[in-house]
Chains A and B, each alone.
Chain A
Amino acid sequence: LRKNVEDFTGPRERSDLGFVTFDITADILNEKNGLQTFWNKNTLMLFFIFDWNVKQLFLYLSAEYSTKNNALNQVVLWDKIMLRGDNPRLSLKDMKSKYFFFDDGNGLKGNRNITLTLSWNVVPNAGILPLVTGSGHVSVPFPDTYETTKSY
């Protein structure tokens, strides 16, 4: 999971709105030897299994953090559906978040501890639907000041 590149906050309708850009590199191999994750120079390499009972993987990047208002907040910033048979190599650079990163209140300003994790939902052809969180995460600190309107 590549570290984010830029982030800044902008106030809108009394709630903090955060902007995060990020890179993701993931390798999905058609190997039947289990799930492996390992670090490679700050890049998290992910090896998924696409076996006969895996119809698709629903990947999503979520930001988790605490604020004064709420003990736990989770916001999905980006997601992707990966079908069995798709190109197994995933390399996205400088992605903007797909969804607006609104906080419920003003908890993003000065928040030093926002954790981005990549998780995925395995959708089988039939059977159990597991939700797996990738090990390893990236911490993103937000600055103490708001940015005046910048084009997104």
Chain B
Amino acid sequence: QLYYQVLNFAMIVSSALMIWKGLIVVTGSESPIVVVLSGSMEPAFHRGDLLFLTNFHDDPIRAGEIVVFKVEGRDIPIVHRVIKVHEKGNGNIKFLTKGDNNEVDDRGLYKEGQNWLEKKDVVGRARGFLPYVGMVTIIMNDYPKFKYALLAVMGAYVLLKRES
């Protein structure tokens, strides 16, 4: 019986992993679902909203699009809007972003001496969104005790569940 439960648990975990990896492949983005962390895109997006991204290689970057990018050397994804695009004939693109709720553009957020973003900095383009759903991730980040409690509860539930 225990063997069966462990197998069940392993199947749940591996299916979740498969779905996530599948999403990464289908959308072309390394992180197809992100949580909005700041209020810099209000009133469109608030902290805790969930965004669905795609990052198809042939999709051009155009002014007005909402992109999620990472500054070189930093791990935090930033969700802002593209306000300037300069593209060369060979496909080389450089662009500037700004949060809707910010007074100034993002140059202050970029790396020292960096004035533009490039395609390689982009995690994806926002295509859809769900409000509030990402709050769980933020709570788990801010209150790690909550994360452990949640894991403990989930573990206990799986182990104690009996087949009738």
Contacts and interface: CB of A to CB of B under 8 A. Distances in A.
Interface of A: 55-56, 58, 60, 62, 64, 69-76, 79, 81, 83, 99, 102, 104, 119, 121, 123-129, 131
Contacts of B100: 58, 79, 81
Contacts, number: 75
Q: Is the interface of A mostly helix, strand, loop or mixed?
A: strand
Contact of B44 (A70, A123, A131): A123
B88 A71 contact: yes
B6 to A, nearest CB: 37
Closest 7 A/B residue pairs (Cβ): A74-B63, A71-B89, A74-B85, A72-B87, A76-B83, A104-B86, A123-B44
Interface stretch (B8-16, B25-33, B121-129): B121-129
A76 B84 contact: yes
A129 B86 contact: no
Interface residues of B, number: 25
Interface string B27-71: 000000000000000011100000000000000001111100000
Given A56-B43, A81-B43, A129-B66, A73 B86 contact: yes
11 contacts: A56-B44, A64-B63, A69-B88, A72-B87, A73-B87, A74-B62, A81-B43, A83-B43, A127-B129, A129-B128, A131-B64
B64 A119 contact: yes
Given A75-B63, A121-B64, A126 B129 contact: yes
Contacts of B63: 60, 62, 64, 74-76
Contacts of A99: 83, 105
B130 interface: yes
A38 to B, nearest CB: 23
Given A71-B89, A83-B43, A121-B64, A128 B127 contact: yes
A73 B85 contact: yes
A58 B44 contact: yes
Given A76-B83, A127-B128, A129-B129, 13 more contacts: A55-B43, A58-B64, A69-B88, A71-B87, A72-B87, A79-B83, A102-B84, A121-B64, A125-B131, A128-B128, A129-B126, A131-B62, A131-B64
A63 to B, nearest CB: 9
A13 to B, nearest CB: 12
A102 B107 CA distance: 14
A99 B84 CA distance: 10
Nearest to A103: B86
B22 to A, nearest CB: 20
B140 to A, nearest CB: 22
A126 B66 contact: no
Contacts of A55: 43-44
Nearest to B95: A74
Contacts of B87: 70-73
B131 A126 contact: yes
